[in-house]
Amino acid sequence: MKTLEYDDYRQAPAVREQAVPSIAIDEVLVKVAAAALNPLDIKIHAGYMTDFFPVAFPYIPGTDIAGTIETVGDGVLGWKTGDEIIARLDPSKGGAFAEYAVVPADQLVRAPTSMPLAESAGLVTIGGTAWQILFEEFAVAPGHQILVHGAAGPVGAFTTLLASNAGAEVFATAAGDDEEYVRALGAVQVIDYRDQRFEDHLSDMDLVVDTVGGDVEERSLKVLKRGGTLIATPMPPDEARARHAGVEAKFVFHASNASRLEHVAERAENGIKVRIDRTIPLDEGADAFARQANGDAKGKIIFRM
């Protein structure tokens, strides 16, 4: 099978041929239709995640797949050859950017039927993260006022959509060019981060979701109501500084969880779409890693096998 892989941190990923992997009794072999690239893949490749996700080389990157079950392990119940699935692989093991991937049966989720299978690969990490933020780390409810930073990015967009569908009033920061896109996701106000300061416009937020980091985190403390919550995705926030400001700050650490992904797939059946930057073959892997690392992708980069 064709794979994308590298032998050391920061080495350009290259296409290689490998034997199709074998499966254990509680696993399935999936013929991968598509796999989505995430910022996490870039951070692992750069060697920044060794404390959380140590990897062994050669390493096939990628966690988010959509595909069709090829072979089912002897101990697996409820799944059969030909079933269309989405799944998130363990980042330490990787394996998504390949023609076949091994998936533990307890991580399988039926692919939504309302979107092309390839597009549904783009739901996996962003949908799971947004769900975890809004419904597990926080309990979003109608009437909540929520500010989403980076609302045009994949995680921010999904968070905006899920929060507005849940009845929250969503405010957003994004580049002005993305205003129409972010409003279509349900945001009531979009603040162009390039020439406006969100803290000049907003106050009394119940929740700020920060997918950007840097000084955005500290500035966000000023727009929360007393007792409000900041949830950050790029880096753990400064919890002591937040407490001092009378609010709570926490980091979301997205972990693979099939039941959470089932909720995301259900929402997708109700019309949620994934913004795709480009769909490319594995051969363009090195360029895709560079594009994602440079922050040039507008939406998900999807590898089509």
Q: Which residues bind ligand NAP (CB under 6 A)?
A: 39-40, 125, 129, 149-150, 152-156, 173-175, 193, 211-212, 216, 233-234, 252-254, 295, 297
| Minimum gap (Å) between residue 262 Cβ and ligand NAP | 18
| Minimum gap (Å) between residue 243 Cβ and ligand NAP | 21
The two structure tokens encoding residue 101:
């991937």
Q: Which is nearer to ligand NAP, 29 or 208 (CB)?
A: 208
Q: Which is nearer to ligand NAP, 28 or 49 (CB)?
A: 49
Q: Which is nearer to ligand NAP, 5 or 179 (CB)?
A: 179
Select the residue whose beta carbon is closest to ligand NAP and give its number: 153
| Minimum gap (Å) between residue 218 Cβ and ligand NAP | 13
Check: CB of residue 83 under 8 Å from CB of residue 68.
yes
Q: Which is nearer to ligand NAP, 27 or 234 (CB)?
A: 234
**Which one-letter DSSP state was computed for residue 111?**
P
Q: Which is nearer to ligand NAP, 60 or 155 (CB)?
A: 155
| Minimum gap (Å) between residue 80 Cβ and ligand NAP | 31
First to last CA, the chain: 10
Name 85's bridge partners. 67, 110
What string of DSSP letters covers 212-263?
S-THHHHHHGGGEEEEEEEEESSS---HHHHHHTTSEEEE------HHHHHH
What string of DSSP letters covers 118-142?
HHHGGGHHHHHHHHIIIIIIS---T
Q: Which of 76, 74, 34, 229 is nearest to 139 (CA)?
A: 229
Q: Which is nearer to ligand NAP, 99 or 287 (CB)?
A: 287
Distance CA 172, CA 180 (A): 12
The alpha carbon of residue 210 and the mean position of all alpha carbons in its chain are separated, in whole angstroms, by 14
Q: Which is nearer to ligand NAP, 252 or 261 (CB)?
A: 252
| Minimum gap (Å) between residue 295 Cβ and ligand NAP | 5
Return the SS3 of 56: coil
Distance CA 264, CA 40 (A): 20
| Minimum gap (Å) between residue 164 Cβ and ligand NAP | 17
Residue at token pair 């092309």:
116
| Minimum gap (Å) between residue 287 Cβ and ligand NAP | 16
**Which one-letter DSSP state was computed for residue 153?**
S
Distance CA 237, CA 28 (A): 38
| Minimum gap (Å) between residue 16 Cβ and ligand NAP | 26
Check: CB of residue 138 under 8 Å from CB of residue 131.
no
